[in-house]
Structure 1
Amino acid sequence: MDLSTDYLGLRLRSPIVASASPVSATLDGIRRVVDAGAGAVVLYSLFEEQVRAQEVEDLLLTEAHEGAFGEALDYFPNAPSVGPAGTTPYLRHLERAAAAVDVPVIASLNGSTPGGWTSIASSMESAGAAALELNVYAVPGDEGVTGADVERRHLEILAGVREAVSIPLAVKLSPFFSATGDVAAALDAAGADGLVLFNRFLQPDVDTEAIRVVPGVTFSSPVEARLPRTWIAILRHRVHGSLAATTGVDAAEDVVAYLLAGADVVMTASALLRHGPEHVGVLASGLAAWLERKGFASVDGARGLLAVPEGAHAGAEARAGYVRALEEARGHYGSLA
């Protein structure tokens, strides 16, 4: 069975991609997902805050010694030679990972402001990244920040990185734009080679006994796939770049559903953390079995069969689906609206 697919201009042996997670923090984890059949690996994210913290630490260390032994130039700490301050461990790991496996290794940058991304992205390209995933994780909690401001920030970050590197770029989006389709089209036109739908905001929870806020890190569940799947189906024939699905992938059926909606690749992290890196093989074999059972010779034959048709009014299609869902539910539960 031909499971190969194109993503960001890269030819992958499988549409199943290990998304950014602790699995890729070690070469062993990377090798295990690749040996299990992953078409590509997205390295764990390098966070803007990590780079800034290391830059401050390096500055403080240098300033602490600037008045001593001025004639001895080697007395000062050496600046990192691999890339910008704070990026050296990540870049070294990226370089080793790219050399260790025969599938594309995609670097991931997680931040919220335009500054500093370009030099880091350039260093990632030099370290062997086959592509970059720009994870613009920002919660616009300030009342003075408008929707237009948020969208402009995404475009500024993309433009800066696009100018700095020649490798493909994917932008990982939040589902909370007021007009997701317009933002997707704008990023597509501005040079994004692909979109990853969607980022999961790790919302905190409340411990009512301790009366404190606690981290809200949880694995995704298949029901969460409905929103990104809807938008992938809408965007399939409306953007030129690749579409990557992420969130809610646990079984082969989840992979199939995303592909039918129009995804070029299907990414998973929670399933690998829940079941182990070898779960990629379970997803791949399940996908191959479904394709064979349904009479498809390849992934390309099934992709996008349930996408919103080219030329159709996406809003009307979504509205019609909403009405159909209510009508079906009414038969089970009575009037809902």
Structure 2
Amino acid sequence: MAGSSGLTKSAEKIEALAKAGAGAIVLKSIFEEEIVFEHEDILKEAEAAGVHLEQFDYYDFHLKGKKLSEYTSLIQEAKAKVQVPVIASINCVYSHEWVAFARQLQDAGADAIELNMFFLPSDFSRSSQEQEHMYFAVIEKLTGAVSVPIALKISHYFSNLGQMIQRLSQSGVAGLVLFNRFFSPDIDIEKLAIKPSFVFSTPAELAMPLRWIGIMANKVSCDLIASTGIHDGEAVIKQLLAGAKAVQVASSLYKKGPEHIGTLLDTLRDWMGRHNYTSLSDFRGKMSQEASSNPAAYERVQFMKYFS
């Protein structure tokens, strides 16, 4: 799958990815906070000009509707150009807005919705239980609003990650994407300013989702999709062996272009041929914790053996 990124923000780019062999495409996310911040800026300007803010009820709806209209148009254009599933992506931070919009994404033709939801555990006024409850509250409302499958893209920032993944898998979502990546801050020591860093994933980041796909395979009630650190065909094979239903790639496509999907698929086909596999189901999960001859390896956290 082509993961959500700037490479999936136009119908032309989406068509190129499909032609290169992508089995499904997740559209560039529509950001709830972008809409909210834009609206807040307009309100501030209006207030400074002496406009009565109660007049903005209609404009509030209109502004958000315009952003949504642009996104639904992208869905429709993409669906007209490709035959593979087109998945709408929502980057949710405030949780309440998207329930009203979800049905419109579905009606525009989205085959599924990926909800990219993450609340950084830096709010000291909220307990971990309150933070976790927000995920289930949003999922409950969203699954009640649409009939298309919903995938939830999560982080590994949970106090009891295994249990949380299991509970989320039982919430009505069709899939869990492990894991999302975030803006990573860095410091410019000359300008004394915060700047972005580590925009693209690296192959080393494969380890975290690989561990948890392997641990949770066959212990959840939905599909598991691997994301982050998948840069070559070997990484695709590893995630499938661990138990992933599908894999998402993005950073490697930025670096090597849409045609890199073909390279990933060629590596997978060659490996399957050498091992006499005719379908993914022949080996999916073969190296999960449950099926492995060394299940403890997935839970080892110290380097004792490596350094001994």
TM-score, normalization by structure 2: 0.90
1:254 aligned residue:
235
Is 2:99 the counterpart of 1:108? no
| Aligned residue number for residue 208 of structure 2 | 227
Which of these residues, 160, 163, 178, is aligned with residue 144 of structure 2? 163
In structure 1, what is the equivalent of residue 13 of structure 2? 29
Greater Rg, structure 1 or structure 2?
Answer: 1
Q: After superposition, where does 1:199-214 map in structure 2 within 5 Å?
A: 199-214=180-195
Conserved 8 A contact 1:243-1:265: yes
Letter in 1 for 2:304: L
Deviation at 1:206, TM superposition (A): 0.7
Deviation of 1:292 after TM superposition, in Å, equals 0.6
Distance 2:75 2:46 in 1: 27
Distance 1:115 1:79, change over 3 A: closer
| C-alpha displacement of 1:140 | 2.4
Larger deviation, residues 164-173 vs 107-116: 107-116
What is aligned with 1:183?
Answer: 164
2:2 aligned with 1:18 = yes
What is residue 123 of structure 1 aligned with on the other side?
104
Deviation at residue 192 of structure 1 after TM alignment: 1.1
Report the AA paired with residue 156 of structure 2: P
Work out the CA distance in 2 between the residues paired with 1:57 and 1:207. Answer: 28
Against the structure 1 CA distance between its residues 303 and 310, is the aligned structure 2 distance closer, same or farther, given a 3 Å change threshold? closer
Residue 248 of structure 1 and its aligned partner are, at CA, apart by: 0.5
Contact 1:256–1:287 (CA<8 Å) still a contact in 2? yes
Unaligned runs of 5+ in 2: 53-57
What one-letter code is carried by the residue in structure 2 that aligns with 1:136? M
In structure 2, what is the Cα distance between the partners aligned to 1:61 and 1:292?
63
Q: Could you give the per-residue CA deviations for residues 236-271 of structure 1, whole angstroms, max 9, x where no partner exists?
A: 111121110000011100101111100000100001
Aligned 8 A contact 2:200 2:251 in 1: yes
Letter in 1 for 2:96: G
Q: Cα distance, 1:53 vs. partner?
A: 3.8
| Contact residue 51 and residue 87 of structure 1 kept, 8 A | no
Provide, for residues 108-141 of structure 1, a one-character-per-residue CA deviation record: whole Å limited to 9, x for no partner: 0001222111112111101111000010032121
Q: Aligned AA for 2:14?
A: I
Moved over 4 A (4+): 54-67, 76-81, 310-314
Following superposition, the deviation at residue 56 of structure 1 comes to 4.8
2:285/2:291 contact within 8 Å kept: no
Corresponding residue number in structure 1 for 2:287? 306
- Structure 1 SS opposite 2:199: coil
Q: AA paired with 1:105?
A: V
Please, what is the CA RMSD of the aligned residues?
A: 2.7
Give per-residue Cα distances to partners, 1:31-66, cap 9 Å, x unaligned.
111001110000000001122245457778999899
- Does structure 2 conserve the Cα–Cα contact (< 8 Å) formed by 1:196 and 1:246? yes
Going from structure 1 to structure 2, the CA distance change for 1:56 and 1:123 (only over 3 Å counts) comes to farther
Distance 2:81 2:105 in 1: 16
Counterpart check, 1:193 vs 2:174: yes
Query: 1:163: how far off?
Result: 0.7
* Alignment partners' CA distance in 1, 2:59 and 2:168: 41
Aligned-pair identity in percent equals 34
Q: CA deviation at 1:233?
A: 0.6
Question: Partners of 1:210 and 1:65 in 2: how far apart?
Answer: 38
Q: Deviation string for 1:310-336 (max 9, x for gaps)?
A: 79997x5644x446x521x12xxx4xx
**Aligned partner (choices 268, 272, 293) of residue 253 of structure 2:** 272
Change (3 A) 1:215 1:295: same
2:219 and 2:293 map into 1 onto residues whose CA distance is 10
The CA deviation string for residues 245-302 of structure 1, in whole angstroms up to 9 with x for no partner, is 0000111001011111000001000011111111111111111111111111111111
Structure-2 separation of matches of 1:58 and 1:144 = 30
User: Matched residue pairs, number?
Assistant: 302
Gaps of 5+ in 1: 1-16, 68-75
Q: Distance in 2 between matches of 1:27 and 1:50?
A: 21
- Of 15, 23, 30 in structure 2, the residue corresponding to residue 39 of structure 1 is 23
